[in-house]
A and B are shown apart, each in its own frame.
Chain A
Amino acid sequence: MNRQRILLGFACLVVLGIVPGLGAEKLVFSELWDPSTVSARIFWDLRLPRLVLTLSLGGILALVGGTYQSLFRNPLCEPYVLGISSAVLLGVISSELFLQHPAGTPVSISMGMLAALGLVAVLIVFSASPLGSPERVVLFGMSANFVLSSLLFLALSMQSQNVGGGTLKWFFGFLPWPSWQEGLWAVGGGLVTLVILGSASQALEVLRLGDAVARTLGVAPVATRNLLLVFTSLVMAGVVAFSGTIGFVGLVIPQVCRFLFRPNSMKELMLLSFVMGAAFLSLADGLSRALVPPYEFPVGVLTTLLGGPLFLWVLWKKK
């Protein structure tokens, strides 16, 4: 197992070394230290902040995916299963349609967060009710997802092309070119998420054994689940408001980590998922920019194209 972990570390270093060199423009490495050159601007002002952002977002997505799979005792759970992403998108698009604040502006992001909070409140009320078993919460979230997605498509289909042109990117996952400040905010968010979910890893491990066992071991299942639900939903609302829905990272990476490294504890799984998710999304982003320059693929398309076969490979090997 140690050999595989060393390989993961090595693969991450390779990704970190390769990804800043991938993109629509070829960089002249001798010009990187001269800030007036195009190569230096592209490298320092565009590619590095973006790498920092993708590392954080990839880590968060894999981490939240792993958390949901344990929290709801369902290996098919992924960060978007509860419909938070659809709620955020509905908020963002409503702000564009009704308040004339385009997607990506502070007002639209606030609207997205508000919509997500509304859904979280509903999920918590449902979860605290006598009907709120983990399986039912997931099913409730999935149906909320369908309803909100339909509303989203209805709103889009009724609107003119200028709205559709800007909002389509949210469906396929689209990483912005962030400033250093935004990139560092994302790193902060990623680390806070890692610390908070890491500190809840023991409770998550107990919850996997079932609510009755959790109670006997001193963990309040409903309260813990609700707290984690609120926290992860807020994190996911932030991620979606920034980058749209990036599929497969949260579903595949924890599964691949479980399969490849067979971690002994939830904490270990979280750490491995975070590292591998960060490397995976960064690689997908680098490829999305470099495959057919100057065209830039939506990163969600690449994560699905890479993640799909990876998922099938894990399923095949697990049989």
Chain B
Amino acid sequence: MNELFEAAQYFMRLADHRQPSPLFEKAQRVWMQAQKEPLNFKYLALAWMDPPILFGRETFFVSLLNSLGAKGLFPLQWSTEFLKVSEEWLIAQTPERVIFLSHNDQSTQRFKQKCRQWWPKNTPPCQAVPADHFARASFTPVLNLQELSPNSESKP
């Protein structure tokens, strides 16, 4: 994450922005806060519901959540951006949060319904993240962001 902020500052300097944008400042505040109080939950992040496709370790979305302190239930042996998993594997997991990249209200409703179906006894909080707002960040492989960092060997 620090690399990301460095990269953002680098681009702002390149674009001759003297003042950081409010969005940037807000993100930095949230990040500083998370450093003090890390998120402490196990989560599953779904990019697609039917068939279930998880965000992998190599995505920015998961990297961000992990660096904020959350613990992903993505199988460790897979270093991939996305992974289609069996529904029975999902049922056997015990996430404390489920995050889903939703494309519209209809898919959000279906996601909540699926959550209740998958974990009927202890349904975890299931949060739909609007894809149109976050798609670029969530689908970006973390490697691309690292490459943007001014500290990276392949800096622009």
| Interface positions of A from 278 to 294, Cβ below 8 Å from B | 289, 293-294
Counting chain A residues whose Cβ lies within 8 A of the other chain, the interface size class is 20 to 34
| Residue contact A24 to B51, C-beta cutoff 8 Å | no
Decide: A296 near B51, CB < 8 A? Known: A100-B104, A102-B106.
yes
Q: Does A46 contact B (CB under 8 A)?
A: yes
CA distance A293 to B83 in the complex (A): 11
A41 touches B91 (CB 8 A): yes
Does B4 touch A at the CB level, under 8 Å?
no
Flag A178-221 by CB within 8 Å of B: 1 or 0 each.
00000000000000000000000000000000000000000000
Q: Within the complex, which residue of B85, B92, B131, B139 is in contact with A296, where a contact is CB–CB below 8 Å?
A: B85
Q: Which residues of B contact A166 (CB under 8 A)?
A: 48, 50
Q: Which residues of A contact B121 (CB under 8 A)?
A: 36
Q: Which A residues are CB-close (under 8 A) to B53? A: 165
7 more CB-based (< 8 A) A-B contacts, given A24-B89, A25-B89, A295-B83: A36-B121, A38-B91, A42-B88, A42-B91, A162-B103, A293-B89, A296-B51
Given A100-B104, A165-B48, A174-B51, verify A25-B92 contact (CB < 8 Å).
yes
Beta-carbon contact of A46 and B88 below 8 Å:
yes
Q: Which listed residue, B84, B103, B107, B139, touches A295 by the CB 8 Å rule?
A: B84
When each residue 85-127 of chain B gets 1 if its CB lies under 8 Å from chain A and 0 otherwise, what string results? 1111101100000000001101100000000000001000000
Distance A10 CA – B155 CA, assembled complex (angstroms): 64
Contact yes or no, B86 A289, CB < 8 A? yes
What is the bound-complex CA distance between A246 and B103, given in angstroms? Answer: 28
- Shortest C-beta distance, B56 to chain A (Å), equals 11
Q: Are A24 and B104 in contact (CB under 8 A)?
A: no
Which of B89, B106, B121 has the most C-beta atoms of chain A within 10 angstroms of its own C-beta?
B89
Neighbour of B131 across the interface among A162, A176, A289, CB < 8 A: A162
Q: Do B85 and A295 touch (CB < 8 A)?
A: yes
In the assembled complex, 13 residue pairs joining A and B whose CB atoms fall closer than 8 Å, in A order, are A23-B88, A24-B85, A25-B91, A25-B92, A38-B91, A41-B91, A42-B92, A162-B131, A165-B48, A294-B75, A294-B85, A295-B83, A296-B85
A174 to B48, CA, bound (A): 15
**B88 and A104 within 8 A (CB):** no
Q: Does chain B have a CB within 8 A of A177?
A: yes
A169 at interface (Cβ–Cβ under 8 A)? yes
CB distance from A117 to the nearest CB of B (A): 26
Report which A residues bind B (CB closer than 8 A). 23-25, 36, 38, 41-42, 46-47, 100, 102, 104, 161-162, 165-166, 169, 174, 176-177, 289, 293-296
Q: Which of B43-88 contact A (CB under 8 A)?
A: 47-48, 50-51, 53, 75, 78, 83-88
Residues of A within 8 A of B47 (CB): 165
Q: What distance in Å separates the Cβ of A243 from its nearest Cβ neighbour in chain B?
A: 12
| Neighbouring B residues of A104 by C-beta, 8 Å | 50
Q: Is the CB of A47 within 8 A of B51?
A: no
Instruction: Flag if A24 contacts B131 (CB, 8 Å).
Output: no
Given contacts A25-B92, A36-B121, A162-B131, contact A296 B84 (CB under 8 A): yes
Asked whether A294 lies within 8 Å of B106 as measured between CB atoms, the reply is no
A46 with B104: CB separation less than 8 A:
no
Check A177–B83 contact: CB distance below 8 A.
no
How far does the alpha carbon of A169 sit from the alpha carbon of B91 in the complex, in Å?
Answer: 21
- Which residue of chain A lies nearest to B83 when distances are taken between CB atoms in the complex? A295
Q: Are B84 and A177 in contact (CB under 8 A)?
A: no
